[in-house]
Amino acid sequence: MPGCAQPCRYCFLVPWEIEAFRRSVGGLSPASIRAYSSDTERFAEWAGRGGAQGPGDVDRILLRRYLAFMATRRYSKATISRTAASLRSYFQWCARRGLITTDPSGRLSAPSPDSRLPRVLGHAELHQLLEPEPEAAGSAGTRPDVACRDDAVLELLYGSGMRVAELCSLDVDDVDLARRVVTVTGKGSKERQVLIHARCAESLRAWLHGPRGDMATEASPSAALFYNLRGNRLGPRDVRRLLDRRSPVPTHPHALRHTFATHLLDGGADLRVVQELLGHASLQTTQVYTHVSKERLLTVYSGTHPRA
């Protein structure tokens, strides 16, 4: 800051205007905002050590050298690809702001991330998640009110395919049990409506008219649909811990979204309908689930056809 006795990190990053860039991408998800700003900040510090004092000192060769540097430090292809996207966004913003005259990231490319098919839960795993044995729940020390909430959370994740962050941000008014519709605010603050099945609606009704009020405290956000044990709005980490208690094998919350989409496609749902339900901006993003379905069909075919 002005008047600092010694150079500090804040003073060094001021010419790069990274804080202003972070505010400019405020419409993205919190995770994307953190990734864009931290990726750009790491590049600015690295470039600064080589003598670059701001975005005007950066050219395409320097950007390519940085991505090569990341590869030598064994960063994953996915991280390098995301960093390239962050830097393209940052320098496009710099050009719009007039901080640079030429965008050095125009043709910046990065290695494509390794293709990994989403994990799909089997029917036995789903049964253990959604309908755990009473003895298993008791041995885990799960309170009845927590079990009721967990039932509603898991039924909603698998029954609607929403992202865990979308579920955690839900308010009571977003749920229409009569119509069995939930209004979800997704990436880029875009709203969509998702459908829920009867069993999911029953679980939500049991939570709303049962332990939800008891779990709330005076400091609890009154609008929140789900609470944790401290009376705060349920967060993604709470959901991961919930799955750790209920799942027989390590399972990420996103696996329920993958399973939702794959089971719909396996049942004959149209790809564009699945795209709409998932909230994907591009059909290409949804198409990964067709690969999952084909893999499952091939497995069934190979295991059951007499000539396979």
Please say if the pLDDT value at position 265 is more than 90: no
Query: Does 1.10.150.130 match the CATH number of domain 9-97?
Result: yes
Please say if the pLDDT value at position 13 is more than 80: no
| Cα distance between residue 224 and residue 280, in whole Å | 25
Whether 294 is catalytic = no
End-to-end CA distance of the chain: 71
Exposed e or buried b for every residue in 165-181, given b needs 16+ CB within 10 A? bbbbbbeeebbeeeebb
Q: Which of 165, 173, 207 is nearest to 189 (CA)?
A: 165
Whether 187 is catalytic = yes
pLDDT for the residue 173: 97
In CATH, what class is 123-303?
Answer: mainly alpha
Whether 107 is catalytic = no
pLDDT for the residue 302: 76
Whether 245 is catalytic = no
Residue range 202-247, pLDDT digits in tens = 999 999 999 999 999 999 999 999 999 999 999 999 999 999 888 8
Domains 9-97 and 123-303 alike in fold: no
pLDDT for the residue 213: 93
Share of the chain above pLDDT 70, in %: 86
Q: Which of 94, 113, 90 is nearest to 102 (CA)?
A: 94
Residue range 68-107, pLDDT digits in tens = 999 999 888 889 999 999 999 999 999 999 999 999 998 8
DSSP 198-261: HHHHHHHHHHHTTHHHHH--TTS-TTBS-B-TTSSBP-HHHHHHHHHHH-SS---THHHHHHHH
pLDDT for the residue 245: 87
Please say if the pLDDT value at position 6 is more than 50: no
Catalytic residue among 88, 163, 212, 258: 163
Contact 253, 240 (CB under 8 A): yes
Catalytic residue among 22, 180, 187, 296: 187
| Cα distance between residue 33 and residue 7, in whole Å | 27
Whether 163 is catalytic = yes
Q: What is the pTM of this model?
A: 0.62
Half-sphere exposure of 64 (CA within 13 A, CB side): 8
Domain boundaries, the chain: 9-97, 123-303
Strand positions, DSSP E, the chain? 175-176, 181-185, 191-195
Tell me the β-bridge partners of 277.
Answer: none
pLDDT for the residue 1: 44
